[in-house]
Each structure stands twice: as C-alpha cells, then as structure tokens.
Amino acid sequence: MKRFLFGNRIAFWGSILIAPLVCIWVFRSEILYRSADLASSSLPVAAVVVLLTLLLVRLAVPALGRREVLWIYAVVAGTVGISTMGMVQFLVTTLVAPFWFANAGNRWEQFWAHIPAWVAPRSPDIVKGFFVGQSSLYQPQVWKAWLVPVVIWAGFIGVLLMAQFCLATIFSLHWSKRERLAFPMLQLPLVLTRERSGRNRLLWTGIALAAGVQGLNAVHYMVPSVPELRVLPTEIGNRLPPPWNGVGTLYLTFYPSVIGLFALVPTNILFSCTAFFALAKGENLLAGIWGLNQAGGGGSGFPYSGEQAQGAIVAFALVVVWSARERVKESLRHPAERVWWLVFFVSLATLVAFGIALGLRPAAAVVLFLVFFLCMVSIGWLRASLGPIWNPGNDVAWWTRALVRSPMPLSEGVGLAYLRWFSFGDFRAHALPTYSEMLTLAEVARLPRKPFLLSLGIASALSIFASLWVALDVYYRYGAASAVTDQWRTYQGRQAFDILRSQVDGLAPQPGVSQLLAAGWGFLFVLLLQAARHQFLWFPLHPGGFVMAQSGALEWMWLPIVIAGFAKAAVLRAGGLRLYEKVVPLFIGLIVGDYAVCGVLALASWFFRIPLYKPFPV
C-alpha cells in the first residue's frame, strides 16, 4: 500500500512538472530549430519521447512502475498539443498581425477600430519588438501590455479544452466499452510498458528497420552523397500524362510509423479509406475530362470536395451521437455524469459570449462553436477507430457564411479572423480525440480517477501559461518576422486578415447554390452509407472513410494505408488472429524506431542549435 501511494505521488507531481516543460521544449524546437513537428500528430512525438525516457529511468527507479509511466505519459500527451500548431503557435502571431502588416495596399487600418482593446497590445513599440526581436518580454512596458490579453486568451483556451474534455468523458466510455473501437494510438504505450516487452525480438526488428531507414536519411541530409531511402512525400500527380494528371496532387509516402500504426486498424476501415480516396481522385479526373472547374480539396468548383467534406463531417457527427444515444441518456440520468453536461453547456455559453464580445452576431457565434464541437466528436470517433496520424479538418467558419446569410458586418469579420487560429481546419492538435484516448488508457491501466484528472487539469493550466510565456519570450528575443524563427506560424497569423480583406473586397467567393448542394450531398451520402451498413451486414464501406477522403486527410496517408492493409491481410491469411497478435510488436517497433530517430534529431537540433533532418511529417 505504501509503495502504491508513493508511486501515485511520483506520477501526480511528475506529470504536473514535466508537462509544461515539454511544451516549452516543443515550442522552442519547432520555432527556433525547425525540428520535426513534435506535438501536432495524433500520436505526439514529444509524448512518445517522454514515454521512452521513462522506460529507461524505470530501470534505475523501481518505484516508477507501469501505472506511473502510463500516468505521466497520458498527462503529457493530453497537454502537449497546447504548445503547437492549431493552438498557441497560431494564436500569438494572429493577435498582433493586423497592426504590424498593415500597409496602404491591404488597408488593414480599417480593421483596427473593430478590435477590442483587450485582444492584443497595439502600441507600435510593443508590436515592433514582437516581430523584429532584439527586445525583452521582461521590460515593464512590454509585460504589462501583454498581461490582460494573455490572461483572457489563456482563459479562452482553458474553456475550449474543458468543453472538449466534457464531451470526451461522455463519449469515450461508449466507444471503448460498447462499440469496442480499436484505439490504435493506445497500443504503443500499452505494449511498451508490459512486463518483458523489451525482450520481444519482433519489437526490436521493427525498431531496427525504421531507425535504419530514417537514420540513413538523416545522414543523407547532412552528406548528400550518401544515398537515401526516401519516405517523405513525393508528388507524382503532375508527372502523369493527360488526362491522368487530372487526378490532381498525388503523393507517395512510406512513413514507417504510419505503416505500423495503420497495421493496427481494422481492415474494413482501411478498405473504406482506400476506396473513397480512389473515388475522390476519380472525381477530379472526370472533372478534367469533362472540362469542369476542378478545385481539388480546397473547394470552389467541381467536384466540390471541400464542400462535400463540410456536409460529411457534420452528418458523421450526428451519426456518432445517434449511435451513442443510449449512453447519452444514461449520462443525463446519472447525477455525477450530468455535471459534465452542465459544465459543457456553461463552457459553450462562455465561448459564444466571447465570440459576441469579439464582434460576432449571436447566430454566427452559435453556429461557429456548435459546428466546431460536432467536428471534434467526428474526429474523436475516427481517432478511436482509425487512428489517423493527422486529424481531418475543415474550415468551421464556412458554415457561418453559408447559414448566416445576411451581409457580414466588418466587426464580425474581424472577430472571425481572431478565431481562425483554432477553427480553420488545422485540427491536428485539438484535444477531444486525445482526451478520449487518455481516459480510455486511464481506465485500462486502472489509474485512480480523481488524482489523475486533477493532475491533468493542473498540468493543462500550467501548460497554457508556459506555452504563451515561451511564445512571447522567443518572439521578443528573436522576432516573429525574422529569419531566425519559423515563418509558417507567422504566415498563419497574417493569413486570417488576408482572407478578411478578400471577403470585404468581394474577392473571396461566398458559398452559393452549387456549394450548398455539394455540402448537402456529402451530408446525405454519409447517412446513406450508414443506413446501408445497418441494412446489409455484408456492406463493406464505412462512412468514416468518406469523411477522411473528402477532407483531404488521406493525401499523405493513402499509400501507407495500402501497404499496411496488404501486410495485415497477408498475416491474417497465413496464421489468423493468433499470428497477427504475435506480429503486433513488429508494427509497434516501426512506430518506436521512427519516433526515436525523430526525438533524437530534435534534441540534437536543440543542443547544436541547427536544423536537422525531419523524419516526420514532411
């Protein structure tokens, strides 16, 4: 009993201390040294590096048992996304972008009067220090100017995360216990922390294969005369002869970790993803043959893939909610679980009020946040079943333009620009799918619920402020617009107001009849697929595959899915489920080897202060 209590204290305080430190490491590595994306994949590289480190420490510290390792891993995985793309990295550059990049050509000064004073500092000296650098956050005039905006936006992030956690708490039990979804992302920590897992030869074979390939590519990056075994995206669509080049972009990738991950996924889901990806490319091909305006995945002309995805992901969320309706009823009847619904609706009302304070009309604010959470429910199910290495996403603000049809006030446009950082479709780091996985992991590992949730809550609060602090510290030292920092994040902050300018000038197309019909077709097709699955047990296609394909999420994943599907089918054909279970450590090893090289190179970039090979994701 004493050892159990001591281990709980180690896990509780260890997770609270480690989580914000990992967020700081992630931000500095990605922004200053252009390391691989350590926190923006569904299985965060930084969290896996922490897991592997804890397994090494465990050899010397017996008190650090399996339960404690999984506890710390779960808290780090549940918080590290705060510091990366789609969250703080896009937020901070958005806040002051309209003041720095305004010029006579873009006329962004027109927006300033509609920006509330509490959103961001606008003093020219404060803004210049942020973008140019060679300054300090700790000058009194600087930190005082940022104090109110940081507190307000930290509160917004906290409420956004709380709402997602409530939904994850309600749905994760249904997904794990009743639907018995695979939760592929959880296989790695569970397998690695088993007793004697380090003696499994297939695990080490997978590690050696992935680490060998990526290690060779890392050497090639530094010494180009050394040959490479390329795993990163190679675009071949534009090299195809007419009319086949009409398929649009077509990437070949061979990520070892993605192949290993998809080998843990049910084969019917893999087949559905492959079939609907082929269908999406076939639509593009026919558009070219018929001479129609092709829009690829962006969505402005036939085949309206982006608009189909808009309808599909909302319909799929409704399908997921409907399939869990008994669970929802139970949660509403149970007094303890009813609290989660209450907290969710209070959080939703707070977010809507925040949007209104930014300038959104009430209807637009309600639509924006409701569609966002519907998207999160869809992605949560897809992660629990399919485990895509990147979450699919769509521009939630599209629905405000489609459903709230009166002319958009400029104040609302400014408000939507300030909310773009989390809602425009880069959902890689959003929390609901990860919360669902970590709650399931806590259930499997039998972590004490209240202490675990308390540590996750404290670590999240600390990680929010740590991420905002390190962002401001780095940018005032080195400059958000300088060559020292990664400019993709700065570009995303500016992009929100470039889009607003286009909308105000009437250059950005608004959803018309064709776009709405395409969204309606995507919505209806998902419902038809779901009905077919219930009516015909033999029906092989799952609507989740259609959502993934139309949203563009499979562009870099389709070939690993095909490889993993053939590998898994071959294993099952050769020895059935028993052989497959024996081979699973090989697939886990591919993930570990890929991620281990990624983590080592990220740490080396930090130490030597230079960019190195990025095994993942680009």
pLDDT at 427 over 80: yes
pLDDT at 298 over 60: no
pLDDT at 317 over 90: yes
Kindly state whether residue 579 falls inside one of the protein's structural domains. Answer: no
Q: Please report, to the nearest 10 degrees, the dihedral formed by the alpha carbons of residues 391, 392, 395, 396 taken in order.
A: -70
Q: What is the pLDDT of residue 297?
A: 38
Q: Is 117 exposed, middle or buried (0-12, 13-18, 19+ CB in 10 A)?
A: exposed
Residues 452-478: tens digit of each pLDDT: 999 999 999 999 999 999 999 999 999
Q: What is the pLDDT of residue 296?
A: 39
pLDDT at 553 over 90: no
Mean pLDDT of the chain: 93
Kindly state whether residue 606 falls inside one of the protein's structural domains. Answer: no
What value does the mean pLDDT take over residues 307-326?
A: 95
Q: What is the pLDDT of residue 302?
A: 81
Q: What is the pLDDT of residue 1?
A: 47
Kindly state whether residue 208 falls inside one of the protein's structural domains. Answer: no
Q: What is the pLDDT of residue 410?
A: 95
pLDDT at 128 over 60: yes
What value does the mean pLDDT take over residues 363-378?
A: 97
- Tell me which residue range forms the domain holding 48: 2-182+265-556
pLDDT at 2 over 70: no
Per the structure, the count of domains in the chain is 1
Task: List the single range of 93-97, 189-193, 384-388 with lowest mean pLDDT.
Answer: 384-388
What value does the mean pLDDT take over residues 98-111?
A: 96
Residue with tokens 């780095």: 474
Q: What is the pLDDT of residue 4?
A: 52
What value does the mean pLDDT take over residues 532-557?
A: 91
Q: Is 216 exposed, middle or buried (0-12, 13-18, 19+ CB in 10 A)?
A: middle
Q: What is the pLDDT of residue 295?
A: 44
Q: What is the pLDDT of residue 618?
A: 63
Q: What is the pLDDT of residue 154?
A: 98
Residues 179-215: tens digit of each pLDDT: 999 999 999 999 999 988 888 999 999 999 999 999 9
CA distance 318 to 375: 10
What value does the mean pLDDT take over residues 95-114?
A: 96
Closest CA to 302 of 152, 457, 518, 121: 518
pLDDT at 273 over 50: yes
pLDDT at 595 over 80: yes
Residue 287 vs residue 228, higher pLDDT: 228
CA distance 276 to 547: 9
Q: Which residues pair with 251 in a beta bridge?
A: 235
Residues 487-527: tens digit of each pLDDT: 999 999 999 999 999 999 988 778 889 899 999 999 999 99
Give the pLDDT band (50/70/90) at residue 64. Answer: confident
Kindly state whether residue 77 falls inside one of the protein's structural domains. Answer: yes
Kindly state whether residue 310 falls inside one of the protein's structural domains. Answer: yes
Kindly state whether residue 489 falls inside one of the protein's structural domains. Answer: yes
In three-state form (DSSP H/G/I as H, E/B as E, the rest C), the secondary structure along 57-123 is HHHHCCCCCHHHHHHHHHHHHHHHHHHCCCCHHHHHHHHHHHHHCCCCCCCCHHHHCCCCCCCCCCC
Q: What is the pLDDT of residue 293?
A: 59
Q: What is the pLDDT of residue 300?
A: 56
CA distance 567 to 580: 10
Kindly state whether residue 404 falls inside one of the protein's structural domains. Answer: yes
- Listed in sequence order, the residues at least 6 apart from 565 whose beta carbon sits closer than 8 Å to its beta carbon are 262, 267, 270, 271, 274
Kindly state whether residue 239 falls inside one of the protein's structural domains. Answer: no
pLDDT at 299 over 70: no
pTM, to two decimals: 0.94
Provide the 10 A C-beta neighbour count for residue 228.
15
Q: What is the pLDDT of residue 411?
A: 96
What value does the mean pLDDT take over residues 429-457?
A: 95
SS3 for 344? helix
What value does the mean pLDDT take over residues 245-264?
A: 93
pLDDT at 247 over 60: yes
Residue 197 vs residue 338, higher pLDDT: 338
pLDDT at 289 over 90: no
Closest CA to 262 of 573, 548, 3: 548
